[in-house]
Chains A and B, each alone.
Chain A
Amino acid sequence: MSEQHKKHLFAAVVLAVVALLVWQATGKQSTETPGLAEQQNQPTEAVLRRGNGPEPESLNPQNSRTDPAFNLARDLFEGLLTHAPNGDLVPGVATSWDISEDGLTYTFHLRPDARWSNGDPVVADDFVYSFRRLADPSTAAFYAQNMAPVVNGSAILSGEMDASELGVEAPDPATFVVYLVTPTPYLLDLLTHPSMYPVNAAAIDAHGKDYGRPGNLVSNGAFVLEEWVVGAYISVRRNDHYWGNQGNRIDRVIFYNTSDDSAELKRYRAGELDFTYTIPLQQFRWIKENLADEFRVHPYLTTYYYGLNLRKPPFKDSPQLRQALAMSIDRELLTEKITGVGELPAYGWVPPGTSNYTPQSFAWAGMDAAQRNARAKQLYAQAGYGPENPAQVEIRYNTAETHQRIAVAVASMWKDVLGVETTLVNEEFQVLIQHIRQGEITQAFRSSWIGDYNDAQTFAVFFQSDFDLNLSGYNNPAYDALLAQASRENDLAKRRGLLEQAESLMLADTPVIPMYFHVSRHLVKPWVKDWQDNIMNLQYSRHLSLQRD
């Protein structure tokens, strides 16, 4: 290569870079034009195109465990109870139910017009079969734990009893009875969970693990499975046998696999999706500026927190340090500048909106930032730390943009207020989980607790000393006693009081640092009507309608 030409090449590259810069600087947002797919897809039938996150692991409701699979299960199946568009509990397959005085026996009366997608009636025996299937260890169900309150449920789970011993019964085809070990006021809510949906015994016998495939899946919800292209999309169509078919204005739903949220946003903008599963967090400013009208944010039942490992130093026996760290985080700043789409700063554990409950707060929640920081410094000093002797804290989080940005911000706040020296350790998710469980090397770790049903119990149980997933290792006999008392209590108001008292007690000990309560985030095209945000982040396709102008 001669000198002359090398110079040319160099100049060419420089020019290209300059051109790129100029393009970036001048390239203003062109006005959004309707996408190709929209133009071509003039609806003869109402087709809803949903972004549905990562690939659902299974369409068999007892074998599924993640929201993408649950979203499909909610369209394909229906439990004894279901949700109204606003998230309220309403009758599903059961039209009514009776609860015994002691709260231990639930009798459900099934709807006579409930049908499977093959036309067969849905009967009480279907529920007996499905509940046993959930509890049976050989099903390897992720949510088998939901059977724990049912008589013999725990024994079946641990393999000590056969699934046929489960405390459920079908005295006649239209009556289904559940016997409980303890009053479980949240049972009705639990019944809307996909793991509690009925599955078709005949189809499972015929197809085994292939039950969840198009052609094999016999379901009882508003839609039936039509096509499953693994990794791309799953399409479902209207179930002609569904009892509530009249109210369903959607003919076909396509659940697109959108495992990359940036790519999902691009597809939405190209007009290929009617609403998104979530939004890429790092683009929230752009979305707020450009797509504000289509952006839907609503609180939902999840607490984002930093757990503190109480089994080991520095957090073992040092409530002052734990409190100081909890106080010195400016949650308003965090939720405004870092997460930024409307997350609620968390000063307590149970999210607002939890039914029949008043969320509790840290005693210091009412202080202003200056008071709070001053108090935090005092506590920090009491714990034996100071400028000469700063606390060394390690935050472990799993690899993801959001967690990383929050950890960076928290470390900077701890440093500014207290002088804490923080090490950030980002681990792969599976490794982090293992480390948290072992409780040997973790100090502070990031996690979230997701409410499985709308009741404070699902949050309270996390700190029970013998709970399997008490990740912080919190052990307070007084707390356990309050929870035990609440579980025996049949009076809802008294039970509520006990749970609230327990939360206050726990917060004073600060075994975790709640950061914020999550919000659901969706972009919804203007032609999607009847959308209602709700605390469970549920969107049944049959509640929606499409109206293009």
Chain B
Amino acid sequence: MNDQPLIATHWQAALGRLARNRAALAAAVVLVLICLAVVLGPWLVSVAPDAVDWDNISTPPSLANGHLLGTDANGRDLLARILAGGRISLAVGLVATLVSVLIGVSYGAVAGYLGGRIDQLMMRAVDVLYALPFLFLVILLTVYFGRHVILIFLAIGAINWLDMSRIVRGQAMGLRNQEFVLAARAMGVSSRDILLRHILPNLTGIVVVYATLTVPQVILAESFLSFLGLGVHEPLTSWGSLIAEGAKEMENAPWMLIYPGLGLGVTLLCLNFLGDGLRDAFDPVRSDKGVG
């Protein structure tokens, strides 16, 4: 009755398949490199991201003045700011995704497994949240909580869990009537234990795949907030804010749009490859059919 080893082999097999997928592997390596660069940013670039260089305001990339990727309209080094911004953007992506996975999975699994009236009620609540415009909620949350970086993460995550909960609920409903769950219930195992030991482990695949797709969504949502001026505080920055600033000056200072855009683009691309790879790895039947 113990299916733990089964799951372990499932994971091992999946990781094995992932390791053979060279594109996904390359994406993973690039992602790790980006994370490293971003975390080690302060040691890689000697200029502080908020230091103003009064002699080089809004200058294009140049070796001569030491600003490899140019400066922004305040005379701050763009490379330093991209690295600093990446820290925020990636953190937003990870934390918000984690929050949305936590809420979405537990909510969806409980609703799906319990079913009946409770499920009805819980899904009605999701309907209400769906009907509230995303933008309205985020604006209210950021205003209410004083626009703290952490709270932006939480706010975005707290709103992004709806899709996740729906998907998980569907899966959990299917699992509910599987033989091993029925058997566990017959043996008197409590609902809580069934959820934790039988339902959740079987949801890993879809959750992992969906999570890699949520990260880019969240990063983009943050950039949208930045465009509206509701993003992170100065002197902190994010790729989204940098792109929003750059978009306003795409003609006279294209480097301000291109380089942060490149950072964001490469990251999203890699996440996409990794997500595809993970899906293939966790769902070998489908990938055998040649589905990418």
Contacts and interface: CB of A to CB of B under 8 A. Distances in A.
A536 to B, nearest CB: 29
Contacts of A408: 50, 52, 74, 76, 234-235
* Residue from B75, B245, B252, B262 having most chain A Cβ neighbours under 10 A: B252
A429 B52 CA distance: 26
A337 B59 CA distance: 12
B58 A285 contact: yes
Contacts of A425: 233
A17 B262 contact: yes
B276 interface: yes
Contact of A1 (B245, B252, B276): B276
Contacts of B201: none
A7 B143 CA distance: 45
B258 A20 contact: yes
A424 interface: yes
B23 A6 contact: yes
Contacts of A356: none
A10 B230 contact: no
Contact of B234 (A20, A282, A404): A404
A62 to B, nearest CB: 31
Interface string B259-292: 0001001000100010010001000000000101
A3 B147 contact: no
Contacts of B174: none
Contacts of A5: 292
A511 to B, nearest CB: 25
Interface string B216-258: 0000000000000110011100000000010011011010001
A49 to B, nearest CB: 23
Q: Is the interface of B mostly helix, strand, loop or mixed?
A: loop
A286 B73 contact: no
A405 B143 contact: no
A304 to B, nearest CB: 17
B43 interface: no
Interface in A309-325: none
A412 B51 contact: yes
B248 A428 contact: no
A337 B147 CA distance: 29
Interface in A386-440: 399-401, 404-405, 407-409, 411-412, 424-428, 431
For chain A, the bracket of interface size reads 35 or more
A280 interface: yes
A431 B143 contact: yes
A407 B258 CA distance: 26
Given A282-B248, A424-B234, A405 B73 contact: yes
Interface in A459-514: none
Contacts of B76: 408
B23 A10 contact: yes
A79 B252 CA distance: 44
Contacts of A2: 290
Contacts of A3: 21-23
B136 interface: no
A226 B144 CA distance: 42
Contacts of A21: 258
Given A20-B258, A337-B75, A338-B74, A286 B51 contact: no
Contacts of B23: 1, 3, 6-7, 10
A21 B51 CA distance: 27
Contacts of B141: none
Contacts of A333: 54
Given A409-B52, A412-B51, A424-B235, A286 B252 contact: yes
Nearest to A431: B143
A2 B287 CA distance: 10
Contacts of B276: 1
Contacts of B167: none
Contacts of B22: 3, 6
B181 interface: no
A2 B23 CA distance: 9
Interface in A194-210: none
A426 B233 contact: yes
Contact of A337 (B54, B143, B229): B54
A426 B234 contact: yes
Contacts of A282: 73, 245, 248-249
11 contacts: A6-B22, A17-B262, A24-B254, A24-B258, A282-B73, A283-B252, A408-B74, A412-B50, A424-B233, A426-B233, A426-B234
Interface of B: 21-23, 26, 50-52, 54, 57-58, 73-76, 143, 146-147, 229-230, 233-235, 245, 248-249, 251-252, 254, 258, 262, 265, 269, 273, 276, 280, 290, 292
Interface of A: 1-3, 5-7, 10, 13, 17, 20-21, 24, 262, 280, 282-283, 285-286, 333, 337-338, 399-401, 404-405, 407-409, 411-412, 424-428, 431
Given A283-B248, A337-B54, A411-B235, 16 more contacts: A13-B265, A17-B265, A20-B258, A21-B258, A286-B251, A399-B230, A404-B234, A408-B52, A408-B76, A409-B74, A426-B233, A426-B234, A427-B146, A427-B147, A428-B147, A431-B143
4 tightest A-B contacts by CB? A1-B292, A6-B23, A286-B252, A399-B229
